[in-house]
Amino acid sequence: MKKDQTPEYMKQLSGKILEINYKNQSLKMSFQATEDICHSNGTIIQGGFTTVMMDSCMAFLVMELTDFIYTPMSIDINVSFLAAGRPGKLICQSKVIKLGKSIGFSSAELYQNEELIATASSSLKLVKIGESPKDFLKDNIAKDAKLIKA
């Protein structure tokens, strides 16, 4: 059995990849927000955690689409908070706008109970990873993910 290499922050957020769509260049993830990552007496998700959810969803998509040859390093990330996120389940959907040879652009939307609560867009520097397990996601947080081939 392979060792679980899921990063601690992803474990804290109970992040799971639900779907990798190679055809649409999109990825869907679920997260579970607990009161531990909330302010206002544990009722509202702190914005940094909301950003991490969307940033991770965008990054994992780019890594998967580039066959783990590249890791995306955020040049910028623009987040719009549209509604308060609360403890509970969240769904994030990311997509690639464009991937070039060294720069990429992606976006994400974060939902809770089918309500859009935040959006993000990011410019990414594509940096060669080096030695990275090709099936990192599929062996860890994407074990049960639906795969839609091109």
pLDDT tens, residue by residue, 29-41? 999 999 999 999 9
- In the prediction, which pLDDT does 82 show? 98
- Residue 91's pLDDT is 98
Q: What percent of the chain has pLDDT over 90?
A: 81
pLDDT of residue 138: 78
Q: In sequence order, which ranges of the chain are alpha helices (DSSP H)?
A: 8-12, 47-65, 136-139
Instruction: Write down the pLDDT at residue 133.
Output: 65
The CATH number of domain 10-130 is 3.10.129.10: yes
Contact between 71 and 56 (Cβ < 8 Å): no
Mean pLDDT to the nearest integer, 107-119: 98
The whole-angstrom separation of Cα 102 and Cα 98 is 11
pLDDT of residue 7: 86
